[in-house]
Amino acid sequence: MLQISNLSKTYPNGVKALQDVSLNISNGMFGLLGPNGAGKSTLMRTIATLQDADSGTIMFNGIDVAKQKPELRKQLGYLPQEFGVYPKVSAEEMLHYIARLKGITNDKERKELVKALLEQVNLYNHRKKALGGYSGGMKQRFGIAQALIGEPKLIIVDEPTAGLDPAERLRFNNLLSEIGENIIVILSTHIVDDVSALCNDMAIIAGGKVVQRGNPEDLVRTLENRVWSKRVQKDEVSKYQAEYKMILAKLSGGSMMVYVNSDTDPGNGFKAEKASLEDLYFANIS
């Protein structure tokens, strides 16, 4: 169990990155959804012991993360948003190096581990290739392989599918889903579909605060029979925004589709829509 209690962080420039954040997270895939600048990366770095909060606590299986950083790091796998690689080193060589740093000094044990990890992330046939020649998706899968060294009980992945093509994104998400069956995997992202497809538990964070928390399907049901849409011209969007509780507006076929939140039929040509996690997300960050 990961217990985050009343966590706050304000940067020297005055930005309140985290404001009294509290979350209890158990085994499985947990989605942390929010726009860029919402505080997701600050929270992930704090959990990963890369920075300290101003106040609050983080406990993981009896470990006080702020006071026992080396103990937490023994159980942690981390794939940050910006994951650099040594471009001229092969994946196999790099995993051996990282495994040695994590204390796996027995040659046979390390060789078996590296082989198993490369097979798990579907990179074994590319193990001799220099990391600089890997595609974005291959680098992310290598990132997961290095994060799995040492059999971590907690894995954090920060914006892992940003910039990946659809095929690589699917491969990466399938890999995450397999990993997240018996340990805690925190998926921090602004991509709604990733959370919808992978996570049974989630939170939406905006402005450094947790604004929604729960099972994605249960949260979407709170918007049932409350989402309405209408096709309008681009220059009409501001008018509808002023008159209705708008969820979002998006371009469709040369005009705009506006979606609004209303307990009753707003009339005026609006049609009922089936609520989605995207609707819930935009309703909470707008």
> In the listed set 214, 241, 261, which residue is the last one of a domain according to the structure?
214
| pTM, 2 dp | 0.86
187 with 261, same domain? no
| Nearest alpha-carbon partner for 79 in 7, 176, 201, 192 | 176
Quick: pLDDT tens for 107-131.
999 999 999 999 988 899 999 999 9
> In the listed set 173, 194, 214, which residue is the last one of a domain according to the structure?
214
193 with 258, same domain? no
59 with 122, same domain? yes
Per-residue model confidence (pLDDT) at position 241: 92
97 with 198, same domain? yes
246 with 122, same domain? no
Per the model's pLDDT, the better-predicted residue between 155 and 165 turns out to be 155
Beta strands across the sheet bearing 201-206: 76-79, 154-158, 184-189, 28-33, 201-206, 209-214
Q: What is the CATH number of the domain that holds 135?
A: 3.40.50.300
User: pLDDT averaged over the chain?
Assistant: 91
Q: Checking DSSP bridges between strand 28-33 and strand 55-60, what pairing results, if any?
A: unpaired
Per-residue model confidence (pLDDT) at position 160: 81
Per-residue model confidence (pLDDT) at position 222: 93
Tokens of 161: 């599918």
Per-residue model confidence (pLDDT) at position 150: 85
242 with 131, same domain? no
In which band, very low, low, confident or very high, does the pLDDT at 81 lie, cut at 50, 70 and 90?
A: confident
Segment 153-178 shows an average pLDDT of: 84
200 with 239, same domain? no
207 with 228, same domain? no
266 with 191, same domain? no
DSSP state of 157: E
67 with 163, same domain? yes
pLDDT over 70, % of the chain:
99
- CA 49, CA 66: separation in Å to the nearest integer? 7
130-134, 159-163, 204-208 — which is least confidently predicted? 159-163
Number of domains, the chain: 2
Helix residue spans in the chain (DSSP H): 40-47, 69-73, 91-101, 107-120, 136-147, 166-179, 192-198, 216-221, 237-243, 277-285
134 with 29, same domain? yes
The Cα-based distances of 140 to 34, 92, 97, 127, 157 in angstroms read 21, 15, 18, 14, 10
Quick: pLDDT tens for 166-217.
888 888 888 888 888 789 999 998 889 889 888 999 999 999 999 999 999 9
DSSP line for 53-118: -SEEEEEETTEETTT-HHHHHTTEEEE-SS----TTSBHHHHHHHHHHHTT---HHHHHHHHHHHH
Range of the domain at 225: 221-285
Quick: pLDDT tens for 40-73.
989 999 999 999 999 999 999 999 999 999 999 9
pLDDT at residue 140 is higher than 80: yes
